[in-house]
Structure formats: C-alpha cells, structure tokens
C-alpha cells in the first residue's frame, strides 16, 4: 500500500508499506518493507496527458538493511480520479550487512485520488 500527498500537480511525496517474502537461511522469511518516495512527473507535451513519473524511494528492511529504489516509466489518467502507471526501469539497491545487491523489476499500478 502506498499513500501519496501531492505537493503540486506533478510532484508528490509518499509512504509505502509492503509485505516481503524473502529467501532466508532456513527457508522463506517474512518481513515488512517500508520507504518514503519522492515523485516528479514530466510531461511529453502540454497537449498530452501521458507523463513520465520519475521516482526515488529510500527505506529500510528490518534484519537486512537500507533500500534505495529508482524508477522511471509511463502514467496516464483514465479519468479525473483514476490513473494507471507502469514503472519500466527500476534499479533497486539492497544494502545488506555484507554486500549490496542490485535488482531490476517492473511494476504496474492503478491509483485512485480521494
């Protein structure tokens, strides 16, 4: 779950909390990932609703360490309140006690504005 506060039409700050099922020493391990995210949306043109969300998230995964996620993708409003977005390039850095691991993911989201 992520809750965002829009500072302006294109800039937002948010808090993310999610469940993580990770590989552990004795099998699977459960954990909670939380991070703060800053987002800026760049428009292709003033006549288009298609935007490029640029996001950076910084957080902490208990028993593992710091977490940094960078993301860029595409977003498009379906209505005044509903929007779809896709994170297409997401290098994520997991700072573990003995090393730093990098992962690349993709994400899709549907957001609703209250």
**Domain residues of the chain, as ranges?**
2-112
3-state secondary structure 27-96: EEEEEEEEEEEEEEEEECCCCCCCEEEEEEEEEEECCCEEEEEEEEEEEEECCCCEEEEEEEEEEEEEEC
pLDDT of 22: 78
Reply yes or no on whether the pLDDT at 96 is more than 80.
yes
Say what the pLDDT of residue 28 is. 87
First to last CA, the chain: 15
Instruction: Write out pLDDT tens, residues 79-88.
Output: 999 999 999 9
pLDDT band at 95 (very low <50, low <70, confident <90, very high): very high
Model pTM? 0.87
Give 6-56 pLDDT, tens digit per residue: 999 899 999 999 998 877 778 888 899 999 999 999 998 888 899 999 999
Locate tokens 């999610």: which residue?
18
């Amino acid at each position: 779950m992520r809750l965002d506060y829009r500072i302006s039409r294109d800039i937002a700050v948010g808090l993310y909390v999610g469940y993580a099922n990770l590989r552990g020493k004795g099998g699977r391990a459960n954990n909670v990932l939380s991070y703060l995210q800053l987002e800026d949306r760049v428009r292709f043109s003033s006549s288009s609703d298609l935007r490029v969300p640029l996001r950076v998230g910084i957080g902490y995964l208990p028993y593992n360490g710091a977490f940094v996620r960078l993301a860029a993708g595409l977003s498009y409003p379906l209505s005044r309140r509903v929007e779809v977005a896709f994170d297409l390039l997401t290098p994520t850095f997991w700072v573990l006690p003995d090393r730093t691991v990098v992962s690349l993911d993709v994400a899709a989201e549907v957001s609703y504005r209250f």
